[in-house]
Structure 1
Amino acid sequence: MRLLVVEDEEDLAEGLRVGLSRSGYAVDVAGSAAEACEMLSVNAYDLMLLDVNLPDGDGFTLCRAVRNGEVGTAGDGEVRVLMLTARGTLDDRVRGLDGGADDYLVKPFHLRELEARIRALLRRDVSGTTASLTVGDLRLDTARQTVTRDGRPLALTPKEFGVLRYLMTRPGHVVSSEELLEHVWDAHADPFTQTVRVTVGTLRRKLGQGSIATFVGRGYRLAGIAA
């Protein structure tokens, strides 16, 4: 899943980028509202981590603009918004939630809690309310970052894990290489490389023969799932 961190404190932004990347997320960083608007219009994000205090505005205004359609967003889905701020009064929390935020986390916070809230928000787009995804004999635990097939643990790289998680949230659907690149890789990925094809290939070998079906010119789908 691809996240946008909108935070002007460079140390905090970098810490979030590193920590969340280690958990398998593709993470981009914007240091201002203007930069965030530009990135939202170009890249399809699953969730935005939005600071309230920005050098050229505030997160409340940006959140409302996104929800009202004043800021264009790439992709078909609606980006989730998790506000991160030191302003933790009841009025501030109510203002953020009423302005369209999906959740509100007060600084300072622990990375583990942030990751749990991210998982909870991203689960709203898929069936089920637990941290685990199950498709056939595949089971993926987003909290523990583990994958098993027929009870057998599999060792996946972060990108393989990200690709599998994205495919499992869309069972029965053919997912294009472009969509995988948008949601599993960050803004530094080269769209002209074969990185998606290579990653799907290594993932398929680890899952077993016939685990991922390739549809030439269209994309990939977990095998054994009705289209």
Structure 2
Amino acid sequence: MSDLSLLRARLSQVPHKPGVYLHKDRLGSIIYVGKARDLRKRLSSYFMPSGKKRADRKTRALIDSICDFEIHEVRNEQEALLLEGKLIKQYRPRYNVSFRDDKRFLLVKVNLDDPWPKFQTTRLKKADGARYFGPFAHSGALRATVAWLNKEFGLRSCRPRSPGDKDYKHCNADVIRNCMAPCVAKVNREEYLEQLEQACVLVRGKGKDERAKGLKVEIEQSA
């Protein structure tokens, strides 16, 4: 029985749940890390003949190299996104890098020197004293997650480094209760930073409270 047939036989043991999968080569080295809304459906796309037939050249090369896989089941797709980024950073699988060519994965940046720090996405990590989280492979999913975090924790997403009254007049985030409105002193800096820190815990994939369970916003899967 071929490696692909053996892998295909294991699919019945894979749950229809969100998670992260790791593909390994003959030496047991991790060659690709991916996330899935439905683990069994996603892995089937690699191991079924029709999936390989539809795949592009790079994906076919990956499929030909797979000799084993490992899965990590999580509660929702946001958790899968965060775990995927953590494992890509840890293992630096060669096919993850190959599929992105020269593009850098996105990072989440928080500059604590700002009067009212906020989450930003960037492709470059600088020695500027800011906190960086990631890298994350799926830009669309990451931006949706950041938007959810801003809303859930009442963090600002406006552009000014130090927003004030003039900015508040043109903003409806406070009106629809998506922001604590630090620009007009509706919250003090200590309280704001406490909320930001709790959000950072989730970005690191460490959250275990109800807010972590609530990370279930629908997000589109990026290519």
TM-score under structure 1 length normalisation? 0.28
Bigger proportion of residues as helix:
2
Q: Whose Rg is larger?
A: 2
Higher strand share: 1
Question: Could you tell me the TM-score, scaled by structure 2's length?
Answer: 0.28
